A and B are shown apart, each in its own frame.
Chain A
Amino acid sequence: MSSIVFQGNTEEQIREGCVKGDRKYQQMLYNMFSSKMFGVCLRYANEYNSAQDLLQEGFVKVFKNVEKFRGEGSFEGWVRRIFVNTAIEHYRKQVNLYALHDTEAKGYEYYEGNALETLKHQDILRMIQKLSDGYRTVFNLYVIEGFSHKEIGDMMGISEGTSKSQLARARYLLQKMITEATGFVNQSQNA
């Protein structure tokens, strides 16, 4: 197992320093993961300031619980999971999810991938942030984090069907925003 070296210190050394509460090693850990984790926070938050709050809360959790990391899997994955859980907990109280009817979830047209190529990362991120808390959280958990609907239902306290319908609605709204932004029209409709 190759160890990541950051500023002349291995990941294990940084982790051990964080366990001891050494501020220098804590800052190293922050510098290692802050950019990646802030991207995660921005996806789950609906605005920039909320993402900052999530980042702060997540790193405090990481420093408080770093000794609980048992070396199973990558340390980055463990840190990421803490941030995702923090975001879910943060929005769980606000999110009022409900199952949509199947008729609403069906009949969506999915556009070809080239529509996205015209957009930048920032544009997509802004569109995701425009989604409501429930849609955004389910979309992030399923599409980007790769959780199943059952896992999402357990994490958010909703049923599997609700997770599915929320995801379908999120996809639909996201594609609608992409269409409005790019003017890309579905090929099947033109044909």
Chain B
Amino acid sequence: MDQKMKNFDRNIEQMMNENEVAPPFGMWNRIATELETGAAAVPVSVNSPIPQRTVFGFVAGALFISASLLTAYLVNDYSKEEKTIAINTSVVNQPSVSAPVTQEMQTIIFRDEVKSTARISKSIATTLPVAEKATEAASTNVSANTSKLHTEVSVPTQAIAENNGVTEPYYFPAIDIDNAKKVEEKTTASIAKVSKATDVNEREVSSYEAPKIKFRPKKHRSFSYGRIIHNGKRK
């Protein structure tokens, strides 16, 4: 069986090797043309150490990785934007520590100075965790405010007196020395009244319809703090 098989193979081998087949006419011209044009890129591609499939694979992988990184960056950026906006809205809506301050700051515009300072001091006092510190701070603030009030009352009078004293005769009203004490007592009393009436003022604040401020997140990618909407209208 094996011998028959070998004979068969040998016969075919002899037949194939003994015979030569002349190539068609013009074959050399084709080869010469290819050599001249330098289009023989086949040996280069065959001898190149990296096959084309691998190169394509690398390129495709690089594109995929870059696309995924870009997507991740964009998603991260968008989530950051949403996070900041959420913090802003929490400041506005939640009646927590910082909320009264913002509300008070708004009311400063609409109320007189004395009430607002008293209210601020009150709010600070309420935000302090220790009651004693709060009271101390309140008292120091009140005293500071009283001195401030005193100067506010006296300084314009002096200025007017200095300015007008040269050109025009100015009547200085009779100032009692004890009057300063009385003024101070009055101011302290008024501040005490104000501090007593803080609850009332707060009720006023709460009842006062302050302009509602909302922050709406922007949908597009560029970073911003959002738009301020004042009573439903954009500013």
> Chain A interface (Cβ within 8 Å of chain B)?
23, 26-27, 30-31, 34-36, 38-39, 42-43, 52, 55-57, 59-61, 63-65, 89, 110-113, 116, 121, 124-125, 142-144, 171, 174-175
Task: State A34–B25 Cα separation when bound (angstroms).
Answer: 11
* Chain A positions within 8 Å of B11 at CB level: 113, 116
At the interface, yes or no: B34 with Cβ under 8 Å from chain A?
yes
A174 to B11, CA, bound (A): 13
| Alpha-carbon distance A65/B15, docked complex (angstroms) | 30
Q: Which B residues are within 8 Å of any A CB, using their own CB? A: 1, 4-5, 7-9, 11-13, 15-24, 27-28, 30-32, 34-35, 40, 42-43, 46
For the complex, give the distance between the alpha carbons of A25 and B27 in Å.
16
Given contacts A27-B28, A175-B8, contact A35 B43 (CB under 8 A): no
List chain A residues, Cβ under 8 A from B19.
39, 121
**CB-contact partner of B7 in A43, A64, A113, under 8 A:** A113
Whether the pair B27, A57 counts as a contact (CB closer than 8 A) is no
How far is A64 from B42 in the complex, measured between Cα atoms in Å?
10
Given A30-B31, A60-B34: A171 and B23 interface contact (C-beta under 8 Å)? no
B residues near A64, Cβ cutoff 8 Å: 40, 43
- Tally A-B pairs: CB < 8 A: 93
Known contacts A30-B31, A110-B5, A57 near B42 by CB under 8 Å: yes
Q: A34-B22, A110-B4, A113-B7 given as contacts; is B28 within 8 A of A144 (CB)?
A: no
Please, which residues of chain B bring their CB within 8 A of the CB of A43? 16
Instruction: A121-B18, A143-B9 given; name 19 further pairs at CB < 8 Å.
Output: A26-B32, A27-B28, A31-B28, A34-B22, A34-B23, A35-B20, A39-B20, A52-B30, A60-B35, A60-B42, A63-B31, A110-B5, A113-B7, A113-B11, A116-B12, A121-B19, A124-B16, A144-B13, A144-B17
**With A39-B20, A39-B21, A63-B35: A111-B8 Cβ-Cβ less than 8 Å:** yes
Q: Let me know if B4 and A36 touch, CB within 8 A.
A: no
Q: Are B23 and A55 in contact (CB under 8 A)?
A: yes
Contact B12 A143 (CB under 8 A): yes
Select one of A27, A31, A56, A124 contacting B15, CB under 8 A.
A124
